[in-house]
Protein backbone atom coordinates (compact mmCIF):
# COMPACT_ATOMS: atom_id res chain seq x y z
CA UNK A 1 0.00 0.00 0.00
CA UNK A 2 2.99 2.26 0.45
CA UNK A 3 3.10 2.75 -3.32
CA UNK A 4 -0.57 2.23 -4.18
CA UNK A 5 -2.07 4.93 -1.95
CA UNK A 6 0.08 7.80 -3.30
CA UNK A 7 -0.34 6.51 -6.86
CA UNK A 8 -4.13 6.30 -6.65
CA UNK A 9 -4.32 9.60 -4.75
CA UNK A 10 -2.44 11.30 -7.58
CA UNK A 11 -4.59 9.53 -10.17
CA UNK A 12 -7.80 10.63 -8.43
CA UNK A 13 -6.56 14.23 -8.53
CA UNK A 14 -6.13 13.89 -12.29
CA UNK A 15 -9.23 11.92 -13.34
CA UNK A 16 -11.60 12.27 -10.38
CA UNK A 17 -12.44 10.31 -7.25
CA UNK A 18 -15.24 8.32 -8.89
CA UNK A 19 -13.05 7.24 -11.78
CA UNK A 20 -10.67 5.58 -9.31
CA UNK A 21 -12.96 4.45 -6.51
CA UNK A 22 -15.86 2.92 -8.48
CA UNK A 23 -13.71 0.62 -10.67
CA UNK A 24 -11.66 -0.37 -7.61
CA UNK A 25 -14.84 -1.29 -5.72
CA UNK A 26 -16.20 -3.21 -8.71
CA UNK A 27 -12.94 -5.11 -9.16
CA UNK A 28 -12.78 -5.88 -5.44
CA UNK A 29 -16.37 -7.19 -5.58
CA UNK A 30 -15.41 -9.58 -8.37
CA UNK A 31 -12.05 -10.49 -6.83
CA UNK A 32 -13.66 -11.40 -3.50
CA UNK A 33 -14.97 -14.58 -5.15
CA UNK A 34 -11.42 -15.54 -6.22
CA UNK A 35 -9.69 -14.45 -3.04
CA UNK A 36 -10.99 -17.16 -0.71
CA UNK A 37 -10.08 -20.08 -2.99
CA UNK A 38 -6.65 -18.48 -3.35
CA UNK A 39 -6.29 -18.26 0.44
CA UNK A 40 -7.38 -21.88 0.83
CA UNK A 41 -4.83 -23.07 -1.75
CA UNK A 42 -2.11 -23.49 0.90
CA UNK A 43 0.37 -22.16 -1.66
CA UNK A 44 2.46 -19.32 -0.25
CA UNK A 45 2.92 -17.53 -3.62
CA UNK A 46 -0.81 -17.71 -4.38
CA UNK A 47 -1.75 -16.50 -0.89
CA UNK A 48 0.77 -13.67 -1.21
CA UNK A 49 -0.70 -12.75 -4.60
CA UNK A 50 -4.21 -12.67 -3.09
CA UNK A 51 -3.04 -10.24 -0.40
CA UNK A 52 -1.14 -8.05 -2.86
CA UNK A 53 -4.14 -7.76 -5.18
CA UNK A 54 -6.72 -7.25 -2.43
CA UNK A 55 -4.88 -5.17 0.14
CA UNK A 56 -2.06 -3.42 -1.69
CA UNK A 57 -3.76 -2.64 -4.99
CA UNK A 58 -7.56 -2.64 -4.62
CA UNK A 59 -7.73 -1.42 -1.03
CA UNK A 60 -4.94 1.05 -1.83
CA UNK A 61 -7.08 2.51 -4.61
CA UNK A 62 -9.98 3.06 -2.22
CA UNK A 63 -7.78 4.38 0.59
CA UNK A 64 -6.00 6.73 -1.79
CA UNK A 65 -9.24 8.58 -2.48
CA UNK A 66 -10.61 8.69 1.09
CA UNK A 67 -8.99 11.86 2.38
CA UNK A 68 -9.83 14.03 -0.60
CA UNK A 69 -13.30 12.57 -1.21
CA UNK A 70 -14.45 12.98 2.38
CA UNK A 71 -12.93 16.46 2.75
CA UNK A 72 -14.66 17.68 -0.38
CA UNK A 73 -18.09 16.60 0.86
CA UNK A 74 -18.39 19.10 3.70
CA UNK A 75 -18.21 22.90 4.05
CA UNK A 76 -15.22 24.23 5.98
CA UNK A 77 -17.24 24.88 9.13
CA UNK A 78 -18.23 21.20 9.44
CA UNK A 79 -15.43 19.49 7.52
CA UNK A 80 -13.61 17.82 10.42
CA UNK A 81 -16.80 16.65 12.13
CA UNK A 82 -18.42 15.46 8.91
CA UNK A 83 -15.33 13.63 7.76
CA UNK A 84 -14.83 12.00 11.14
CA UNK A 85 -18.45 10.87 11.50
CA UNK A 86 -18.48 9.45 7.96
CA UNK A 87 -15.19 7.62 8.45
CA UNK A 88 -16.08 6.26 11.89
CA UNK A 89 -19.53 5.06 10.80
CA UNK A 90 -17.95 3.24 7.86
CA UNK A 91 -15.45 1.70 10.27
CA UNK A 92 -18.25 0.62 12.57
CA UNK A 93 -20.12 -1.11 9.76
CA UNK A 94 -17.17 -2.53 7.82
CA UNK A 95 -14.84 -3.12 10.75
CA UNK A 96 -17.42 -4.27 13.29
CA UNK A 97 -20.36 -5.91 11.60
CA UNK A 98 -18.32 -7.32 8.70
CA UNK A 99 -15.88 -9.40 10.78
CA UNK A 100 -18.68 -10.51 13.12
CA UNK A 101 -20.74 -11.81 10.19
CA UNK A 102 -17.63 -13.38 8.62
CA UNK A 103 -16.97 -15.29 11.86
CA UNK A 104 -20.57 -16.56 11.87
CA UNK A 105 -20.33 -17.56 8.20
CA UNK A 106 -17.03 -19.41 8.73
CA UNK A 107 -18.07 -21.17 11.95
CA UNK A 108 -18.74 -24.92 11.76
CA UNK A 109 -22.16 -25.40 10.20
CA UNK A 110 -22.08 -21.91 8.69
CA UNK A 111 -22.45 -21.20 4.99
CA UNK A 112 -18.66 -20.93 4.50
CA UNK A 113 -16.27 -18.67 2.60
CA UNK A 114 -18.69 -18.15 -0.28
CA UNK A 115 -20.98 -16.21 2.05
CA UNK A 116 -18.07 -14.02 3.14
CA UNK A 117 -17.30 -13.34 -0.52
CA UNK A 118 -20.94 -12.36 -1.13
CA UNK A 119 -20.88 -10.05 1.90
CA UNK A 120 -17.60 -8.47 0.78
CA UNK A 121 -18.97 -7.99 -2.73
CA UNK A 122 -22.14 -6.43 -1.30
CA UNK A 123 -20.09 -3.94 0.74
CA UNK A 124 -18.13 -3.09 -2.42
CA UNK A 125 -21.32 -2.54 -4.42
CA UNK A 126 -22.69 -0.24 -1.70
CA UNK A 127 -19.41 1.70 -1.76
CA UNK A 128 -19.52 2.07 -5.55
CA UNK A 129 -23.18 3.16 -5.59
CA UNK A 130 -22.62 5.71 -2.81
CA UNK A 131 -19.58 7.08 -4.63
CA UNK A 132 -21.61 7.51 -7.82
CA UNK A 133 -24.34 9.41 -5.96
CA UNK A 134 -21.81 11.69 -4.25
CA UNK A 135 -20.93 13.13 -7.63
CA UNK A 136 -17.65 14.58 -8.85
CA UNK A 137 -15.97 16.38 -5.98
CA UNK A 138 -12.57 16.82 -7.62
CA UNK A 139 -13.00 20.49 -8.53
CA UNK A 140 -14.56 21.56 -5.24
CA UNK A 141 -13.12 24.83 -3.94
CA UNK A 142 -12.08 23.84 -0.43
CA UNK A 143 -11.25 27.39 0.65
CA UNK A 144 -14.74 28.77 0.04
CA UNK A 145 -16.77 25.64 0.67
Query: At 63, is the secondary structure helix, strand, or coil?
Result: helix
Place 142 in a pLDDT band, splitting at 50, 70 and 90. low
Distance CA 107, CA 109 (A): 6
Where do the domains of the chain lie? 4-134
Query: What is 20-86 written as a DSSP string?
Result: HHHHHHHHHHHHHHHHHHHHTT--HHHHHHHHIIIIIIIHHHHHHHHHHHHHTTS-GGGHHHHHHHH
What is the pLDDT averaged over residues 28-32?
96
Q: What is the pLDDT of residues 62-89, one digit of tens each?
A: 899 988 888 888 888 888 898 899 889 9
Q: What is the pLDDT of residues 131-140, one digit of tens each?
A: 999 877 667 7
Amino acid sequence: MIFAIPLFSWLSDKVGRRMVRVPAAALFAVFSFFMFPMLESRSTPIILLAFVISMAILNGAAAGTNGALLSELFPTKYRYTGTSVAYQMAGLIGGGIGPLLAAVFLAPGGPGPGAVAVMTAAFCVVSAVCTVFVGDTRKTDLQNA
